[in-house]
Amino acid sequence: MLNFSKINVIIIYLIFFFISIFSLLNLQTTDKTFLEKKVNLGLDLQGGSYLLLEINSDSLVEEKIQSKVIPLKKLLKDNGLNYQDFKIKNKNLSFKIDDISKFDLLFFSKKNNLVNPYIENYRSFELDYQKKKDNYVEVLFSKYGLLTINNAALKQSIEIVRRRIDDVGTKEPTILQRGDKRILVELPGLKDPERIKNLLGKTAQLNFRLVSENSEFGVDELISETGEILKISKRIVMSGENLIDAQPSIQNQQNEPTVSFTLDRLGAQKFGRATTDNVGKRLAIVLDGKIISAPNINEPITSGKGMISGNFTFQQATDLALLLRSGALPTPLDIVEERTVGPDLGEDSIKSGVTSLIVGFILVIIFMFYKYRVFGLVANIALIANLLMLVGVLTILEATLTLPGIAGIILTVGMAVDANVLIFERIKEELKTEKSVIHAFDTGYSKAKITVLDANITTLIAAIILFAFGSGPVKGFAITLGIGIVTTLFTAYFLARHLTSIIVLRDNNKDVKIS
Amino acid sequence: MIKNINFVSKFKKANFFSIVFFILSIIFISFKGLNYGIDFKGGTLIELRTEKTVEAYSIRNSLSTMDLGDINVKKFGKEGDFLVKVEQKNTTNNNLIPEIKEKLTNNLNSAVDFRRVENVGPKVSSELLESSVIAISLALAAMLFYIWVRFEWQFSVGSIIALFHDVVITLGIFSVLSLEINLSIIAAVLTIVGYSMNDTVVIYDRIRENLFKYTKISISDISNLSINETLSRTIITSATTLLALVSIYILGGEILRGFSFAMILGVIIGTYSSIFVASPILKFFKVSYKTLEKEEEKIVP
């Protein structure tokens, strides 16, 4: 085990230098070098917010099933099917029908089925129905129909979340899909997480509806910004979809912050017609079911430009404009998990983490030198090399270093010497019975090999499983621990063994002692 | 330095203590329970720093009017630093944090800085608990399998019993001291599992080697010899690992304190268990040179 061919030695040191040189990249302060790889600091170290948002598609499903009412009734009528007792329930439509088999044929027809389209991807129809007693049927979304609604809502939500966050202008946000209902948002270095949470917590569905006592579409009673109860038609004159731009502005006369908006062509037409027909009436501006304001229509607005006032502060006007620009979320988002760390706490954590790393490192080095003298030095050189390589690999992977990750490094420092301890102790034993020093070292290394491997593989198993199942901070710990084990094996079995062989072979036949 | 300590003679006493501690731990875990942090219980955690000197009870008092459920306030590190945990009954309030901040700033007459806020909903916390339990069980199963492949089943049972012993007693101590169980404690427990296994494997390796070497000696004497032969390694490695861990415990800051404490406990218990739990089990199964040979024959017919 002590003989190294020249080529082996060269390969070992090349690997070592190649990997550890990457660790130096972290020292550079400018970004303009040829390699921009760096270990990223986790949110717990640099400060920032981690949010897990969940879409709540219940209301969307209700809305979608309601939109099926008219086409379904039309389908039944056009084909001469008699139905009775048509009811819209929360998530299904219930009615009584005479000829169920004919309905079944129509309902599951693959050709030009406007009511119940066939989804090729899933080989399933969007809707399904259940037979109830007395010829009643209940139409509801199929499993894949629900999945399609959910996926579309999630994709759209991610897009809108991204627009809103980009608009606020945070640096390097991470926005990812997590599972089939959740969105993960990471915002490093964020100063005011409450503002973002506020912006993401609003669906921002904007409607313009006329204030009227009675309407053929029915009326809603909503409380206006001044506290009066207004009856508002359910008919939507125009919605936020038709907005192409919104900006905060100051209305000169009262010096009041407002939001001015620009409509697309279709929106301008709708808005123009509605304002022309209803001069003198009041138009309510409704955001997420609340009236922002309900101004009088003084004259027709045909320019496609308008203004929303509502006793805003300038910040509120800015945020409302931002929400309107980025569009409405298809469903409300719930914040199901939040972790925010202030920047000064992050700094404190780095400081204490690094201090404990250095102190632990020095203690271990002194201890090893005290126990094994020259070979303690060998183990210590291996330990330093180990750290350099560990940081090097983390840099190559551009891994994220978290506080538990630093703990993982410190633990690696403590456990890394184990491989060398195992080997040295074994050699000591061999030296008792073996006359030839070289022979003792040689058998010591080969006999300890199996134990070192067995021992490290068990820890590696723990690290891999932590990585696979752990979340956030635990993952960071698992990465450093796992990589640490691999670099430990490399440095103990190649670097330290080579250094040992140099010492032993140089002192050939002299008395080599461990400790 | 030749060590010849008679470990085997102490096995009985040690086993008695182990069993007592194990049972006590189970009693404490099942009756007193574990102090789950918000990661697993759901709720809100706020680490705050006040400008003026404030007492913990005044923070508790000013929050108690807000109908937040259980409120827990404790000092955390330096003067003026507190850790506030709130059960948070209604989870839908996205404005909770600013409301708490305003309330505290007004009531305490002092600027309040929220240094860290963690908010875990009930759904997420139960998922985290579930995935943690899965992770620990899988880690145990994977190691059991590895040891079974590398050694014989008696060894694998022995190491798993030793692991259970370590994990249960560590959690038992956490229950007695009412220390918080959170995600990083789970990471610590899994590392303890790895470390304890590591230690056990080293001794088992030597036992296996000696069983082949000295076919005539009883398993008790083989265990004793193997433990003694590997003793200096066991001590040195525990020492270096503990040096590193104690350094995190003292200097690593409040957030890593629970984690490093669990690890320190685990390393001490793990080292003890590889000698006093894992080895006696081989004796119990009457493992001998023949057990190994039979297995060898099975593999290489």
Q: What is the pLDDT of residues A198-220, one digit of tens each?
A: 888 888 988 898 888 777 777 88
Name which of A355-359, B67-71, B155-159, B225-229 the model is least confident about.
B67-71
CA A118 to chain centre: 32
Residue B89 has pLDDT above 80, yes or no: no
Residue B55 has pLDDT above 60, yes or no: yes
* Confidence category of residue A310, pLDDT binned at 50, 70, 90: confident
CB A240 within 8 A of CB A324: yes
Decide which of B134 and A90 is more confident.
B134
Query: How many CB atoms are closer than 10 A to CB A224?
Result: 18
What is the pTM for the complete model shown?
Answer: 0.82
Nearest CA in chain B to A332: B92
- pLDDT of A81: 86
Domain boundary among B69, B101, B120: B120
Tokens representing A48 are: 């920032």
- pLDDT of B300: 45
DSSP letter, residue A492: I
Residue B291 has pLDDT above 80, yes or no: no
Tokens representing A134 are: 């007395």
- Put the strands of the sheet holding A206-210 in their side by side order: A238-239, A206-210, A283-287, A290-293
* Confidence category of residue A511, pLDDT binned at 50, 70, 90: low
- pLDDT of A184: 93
Tell me the chain A residues in contact with residue B255 when contact means C-beta distances shorter than 8 Å: 44, 349, 403
Q: Is residue A384 part of a domain?
A: yes
A429 touches chain B (CB under 8 A): yes
Three-state secondary structure of A120-170: CCCCEECEEEEECCCCEEEEEECHHHHHHHHHHHHHHHHHHHHHHHHHHCC
Tell me the chain B residues in contact with residue A52 when contact means C-beta distances shorter than 8 Å: 124
For residues B72 and B218, membership in a common domain is answered with no
- Verify whether the Cβ–Cβ distance B194 to A360 is below 8 Å: no
CB A69 within 8 A of CB A88: yes
H or E segment and range at residue B82: strand B81-86
Rounded to an integer, what distance in angstroms lies between the CA atom of residue A285 and that of residue A305?
15
Where residue B226 sits, what CATH number does that domain have? 1.20.1640.10
Q: Is residue B73 part of a domain?
A: yes
* Confidence category of residue B31, pLDDT binned at 50, 70, 90: very high
Span between the terminal Cα atoms of chain B, in Å:
43
For residues B19 and B149, membership in a common domain is answered with yes
Residue A3 has pLDDT above 90, yes or no: no
Query: What's the Cα-to-Cα distance from A251 to each of A259, A310, A321, rounded to whole Å?
Result: 9, 12, 15
For residues B68 and B173, membership in a common domain is answered with no
Tell me the chain A residues in contact with residue B47 when contact means C-beta distances shorter than 8 Å: 345
Q: Is residue B179 part of a domain?
A: yes
Q: Is residue B2 part of a domain?
A: no
For residues A382 and A498, membership in a common domain is answered with yes
Tokens representing B79 are: 């003067």
For residues B111 and B154, membership in a common domain is answered with no
For residues A276 and A348, membership in a common domain is answered with no
H or E segment and range at residue B137: helix B122-150
CA distance B71 to chain A (A): 19
Which residues in chain A (470-509) have CB-CB distances under 8 A to chain B? 470-474, 477-478, 481
When CB atoms are compared, the residue of B183, B193, B232 closest to A425 is B232
When CB atoms are compared, the residue of A349, A404, A429 closest to B184 is A404
Q: Which residues of B255-282 are buried (b: 16+ CB within 10 A; e: fewer)?
A: bbbbbbbbbbbbbebbbbbbbbbbbbbb
For residues B276 and B167, membership in a common domain is answered with yes
For residues A359 and A267, membership in a common domain is answered with no
Rounded to an integer, what distance in angstroms lies between the CA atom of residue A97 and that of residue A76?
9
CB B67 within 8 A of CB B97: no
- pLDDT of A60: 86
Where residue A255 sits, what CATH number does that domain have? 3.30.1360.200
CB A480 within 8 A of CB A409: yes
Q: What are the phi and psi torsion angles at A341 (to 5°)?
A: -125, 130
CB B179 within 8 A of CB B199: no
- pLDDT of A515: 66
Chain segment A102-126, per-residue pLDDT in tens: 888 888 888 778 788 888 888 888 8
Say which residues have a Cβ less than 8 Å from residue B229's Cβ, sequence separation at least 6: A429, B206, B210
Place of tokens 């790895």: B194
For residues B171 and B289, membership in a common domain is answered with yes
Domain boundary among B98, B120, B142: B120
CA distance A95 to chain B (A): 36
For residues A141 and A250, membership in a common domain is answered with no
Q: Is residue B1 part of a domain?
A: no
- pLDDT of A368: 93
For residues A102 and A231, membership in a common domain is answered with no
Where residue B101 sits, what CATH number does that domain have? 3.30.70.3400
- Residue of A274, A270, A310, A280 whose CA lies nearest to A294: A310
Residue B1 has pLDDT above 70, yes or no: no
For residues B55 and B67, membership in a common domain is answered with yes
Residue A457 has pLDDT above 70, yes or no: yes
Domain count, chain B: 2
Longest Cα–Cα distance of chain A, Å, equals 111
CB A246 within 8 A of CB A217: no
CB B59 within 8 A of CB B104: yes
For the segment A255-267, the average pLDDT, to the nearest whole number, is 90
H or E segment and range at residue A360: helix A343-396
CB A394 within 8 A of CB A483: yes
Nearest CA in chain B to A414: B241
Q: How many residues does chain B have?
A: 301
CA distance A426 to chain B (A): 9
The ipTM is 0.88
CA distance A97 to chain B (A): 41
Residue A377 has pLDDT above 70, yes or no: yes
Rounded to an integer, what distance in angstroms lies between the CA atom of residue A332 and that of residue A348?
37
Chain segment A129-177, per-residue pLDDT in tens: 988 888 899 999 999 889 989 999 999 999 999 999 988 877 789 999 9
- Verify whether the Cβ–Cβ distance A477 to B194 is below 8 Å: no
Rounded to an integer, what distance in angstroms lies between the CA atom of residue B262 and that of residue B249?
10
Beta-carbon contacts below 8 Å between A and B: 217
- What percent of chain A shows pLDDT beyond 70? 97
Q: Is residue A187 part of a domain?
A: no
- Verify whether the Cβ–Cβ distance B183 to A474 is below 8 Å: yes
CA distance A433 to chain B (A): 13
Tokens representing B155 are: 């060894």
For residues B155 and B55, membership in a common domain is answered with no
Chain segment A320-343, per-residue pLDDT in tens: 999 988 888 988 898 889 899 988
- Verify whether the Cβ–Cβ distance A455 to B198 is below 8 Å: yes
For residues B58 and B135, membership in a common domain is answered with no
For residues A77 and A42, membership in a common domain is answered with no
Q: Residue B49 in 3-state DSSP?
A: strand
CA distance B176 to chain A (A): 25
For residues A289 and A227, membership in a common domain is answered with yes
Tell me the chain B residues in contact with residue A469 when contact means C-beta distances shorter than 8 Å: 131-132, 134-135, 138
- Put the strands of the sheet holding A256-263 in their side by side order: A243-251, A256-263, A305-308
Q: Domain limits at A132? A: 58-147
CA distance A353 to chain B (A): 5
* Confidence category of residue B90, pLDDT binned at 50, 70, 90: low
Nearest CA in chain B to A473: B184
Tell me the chain B residues in contact with residue A466 when contact means C-beta distances shorter than 8 Å: 135, 139, 187, 190
Q: Is residue B3 part of a domain?
A: no
Q: Is residue A17 part of a domain?
A: yes
Q: Domain limits at B136? A: 8-37+124-299
For residues A263 and A349, membership in a common domain is answered with no
Rounded to an integer, what distance in angstroms lies between the CA atom of residue B164 and that of residue B166?
5
Q: Is residue B171 part of a domain?
A: yes
Query: What's the Cα-to-Cα distance from B89 to each of B41, B92, B248, rounded to whole Å?
Result: 12, 9, 35
Residue B112 has pLDDT above 50, yes or no: yes
- pLDDT of B243: 92
- Verify whether the Cβ–Cβ distance A404 to B150 is below 8 Å: no
Q: Is residue A284 part of a domain?
A: yes
Which residues in chain B (71-130) have CB-CB distances under 8 A to chain A? 92, 94-95, 97-98, 113-121, 123-124, 128
- pLDDT of A509: 54
Nearest CA in chain B to A361: B244
Domain boundary among B71, B100, B120: B120
Domain count, chain A: 3
For residues A356 and A490, membership in a common domain is answered with yes
Chain segment B169-220, per-residue pLDDT in tens: 999 999 999 999 988 888 888 888 888 888 999 999 999 999 988 888 888 9
Span between the terminal Cα atoms of chain A, in Å:
21
Tell me the chain A residues in contact with residue B92 when contact means C-beta distances shorter than 8 Å: 334
Domain boundary among A298, A324, A357: A298
Which residues in chain B (132-171) have CB-CB distances under 8 A to chain A? 132, 134-135, 138-139, 142-143, 146-147, 150
For residues A218 and A140, membership in a common domain is answered with no
Say which residues have a Cβ less than 8 Å from residue A24's Cβ, sequence separation at least 6: none
* Confidence category of residue B301, pLDDT binned at 50, 70, 90: very low
Domain boundary among A264, A298, A332: A298
* Confidence category of residue B296, pLDDT binned at 50, 70, 90: low
Rounded to an integer, what distance in angstroms lies between the CA atom of residue A469 and that of residue A460?
14
Q: Is residue A161 part of a domain?
A: no
When CB atoms are compared, the residue of B124, B138, B259 closest to A52 is B124
- Verify whether the Cβ–Cβ distance B229 to A429 is below 8 Å: yes
For residues A369 and A292, membership in a common domain is answered with no
- Residue of A461, A498, A491, A472 whose CA lies nearest to A392: A491
For residues B227 and B262, membership in a common domain is answered with yes
- Residue of A53, A66, A57, A243 whose CA lies nearest to A152: A57
- Verify whether the Cβ–Cβ distance A457 to B146 is below 8 Å: yes
Mean pLDDT, chain B, whole residue set:
87
For residues B151 and B286, membership in a common domain is answered with yes
When CB atoms are compared, the residue of A356, A363, A462 closest to B193 is A462
Nearest CA in chain A to B117: A340
Name which of A113-127, A270-284, B155-169, B236-250 the model is least confident about.
A113-127
For residues B194 and B225, membership in a common domain is answered with yes
CB A284 within 8 A of CB A232: yes
Residue B274 has pLDDT above 80, yes or no: yes
- Residue of B209, B192, B217 whose CA lies nearest to B274: B192
CB A464 within 8 A of CB B146: no
Q: Is residue B100 part of a domain?
A: yes
Decide which of B94 and B263 is more confident.
B263
Q: Residue B121 in 3-state DSSP?
A: coil
CA distance B218 to chain A (A): 22
Query: How many CB atoms are closer than 10 A to CB A104?
Result: 14
For residues A26 and A64, membership in a common domain is answered with no
Tokens representing A223 are: 């409380």
* Confidence category of residue A34, pLDDT binned at 50, 70, 90: low
- Residue of A236, A235, A232, A226 whose CA lies nearest to A293: A226
Alpha helices in A25-142 (DSSP H): 43-46, 58-66, 69-78, 100-107
Which residues in chain A (359-388) have CB-CB distances under 8 A to chain B? 359-361, 363-364, 367-368, 371
Rounded to an integer, what distance in angstroms lies between the CA atom of residue A194 and that of residue B117?
11
Rounded to an integer, what distance in angstroms lies between the CA atom of residue A41 and that of residue A476?
10
For the segment B42-51, the average pLDDT, to the nearest whole number, is 89
